[in-house]
Structure 1
Amino acid sequence: MTSNRQPGVVLTDRHFTVPLDHTDPAGEQLEIYGREVVSSARAGAELPWLVYLEGGPGFGARRFVGKQAWLGRAVQEYRVLLLDQRGTGRSAPLNRQTLPLRGGPQAQAEHLARFRADSIVRDCETVRQRLTGGAPWTVLGQSFGGFCATHYLSTAPEGLRAVLVTGGLPSLNAGAEDVYRAAYPRIQRKAEAHYVRYPQDVERARRIAAHLAEHKTVLPGGYTLTPEAFQSLGILLGGGEGSHQLH
């Protein structure tokens, strides 16, 4: 383990080995990364654990500096584990380079099925046993992390002391299309508010979309930027500072 300090906190890199397929514990293994964060003032104390599950799906846990955002409140009473879910961040990667190595479309689909919420929860249970010695911990789930947290409640409640969910609470009786239809008017209002705030972005957005429609544009990472992909930047409007970041 490697530890270092930032303002008010001590950070420790932690690495765990888990089965790719939890029904085959002796089979292929994955490495999972987590960043432990504890208050400098309580670094040696016996504290309950809180594990943070990021949204996405597909995003690694955010890298806070010091006591940014909610982390400052959390370290008042918890030892926090910012967990990179399998396939994200510094955990074993799952991307356009690694997936073709699994074979054809069917083999790739079967491999992708090992990266759902059910596997993430079983990873958490493996990590929990190693960190807490079996004591339950608290889960904080953001967006897709909230979906993972509700799956956790359904399949391994004995591992949970408490569950905190921010934004990712699945419906009991609505499908994805119902959720999207309900979101469309809110998205429209967000976009219109952005253009009122930054009216110069109206012409910019139209010019960019027109260019992308007429010219194949490949980003440095090899990703082709299409008008539809450009539109997806609107996801930033869902955050408090997203309009400014988008501008």
Structure 2
Amino acid sequence: MTEAPVPAPVHDEAHGGGLGSRLSWLRAAVLGANDGVVSTAGLVVGVAGATGSRSALLTAGLAGLLAGSMSMAAGEYVSVSTQRDSEKAALATERRELREQPEAELTELTELLAARGLTPDVAREAAEQLTARDALRAHARVELGIDPDDLTNPWHAAVASFLAFTVGALLPLLAIVLPSPAHRLWITVLSVLAALTLTGWTSARLGAAPVPRALLRNVGGGALAMAVTYGAGSLLGAVGV
């Protein structure tokens, strides 16, 4: 019996997991940019409903951009730090179990490989080979779905979220302050809707979701947000608040 092909399922899983991780990060970046577009557009359009002052629009837009990007970065840092701590704790537990119960862990790895379609004999042989090569890595990938050499990095996540939100927020900010007062509102609305179409299409494709439904939700939600904030701003401006 040749055993050369046995480790292949684990290797393929790690490769697929890496691709999935990259796609998740890309999708998170697209969604972060989308948040920047919607939240900043709602803010500046609302202010535009109350006043035509370019300085007021710039101040509000910059404040919204900085507050939103810092909030996104802080939230992502906390979230990913918690995930990383959980991964480290799981690896520590697995390391202790391998030290204290090596036979039980070998049996567990065998059962996990058998559950993936290997015959009992092949699963046992594969588990023994993987354990001899690197027991912790084998259990981390097969049992926990974790790559010990590629744990999530909270700083990377925080910086990525900050940049994604900032890039998205710059579009409505520049669209509202650069054009003339007579055209700034429509230029902003059209620019935002175009950007939401792009981010909605991209996120749907990355998530293998129906594109028309994603576009409707994304563009419709952004349009509704701008309509509500503009109406509120106009009302407040009319009463002199």
Could you say whether these structures have the same fold, taking a TM-score greater than 0.5 normalized by the shorter chain as the test?
no
- What TM-score bracket applies, with the shorter chain setting the length? under 0.3
Normalized per residue, the structure richer in helix is: 2
Higher RCO (C-alpha 8 Å, min separation 6)? 2
Q: Given the two structures, how large is their TM-score scaled by the length of structure 2?
A: 0.21
TM-score w.r.t. structure 1 length? Answer: 0.21
- The structure whose residues are more often strand, as a share, is 1
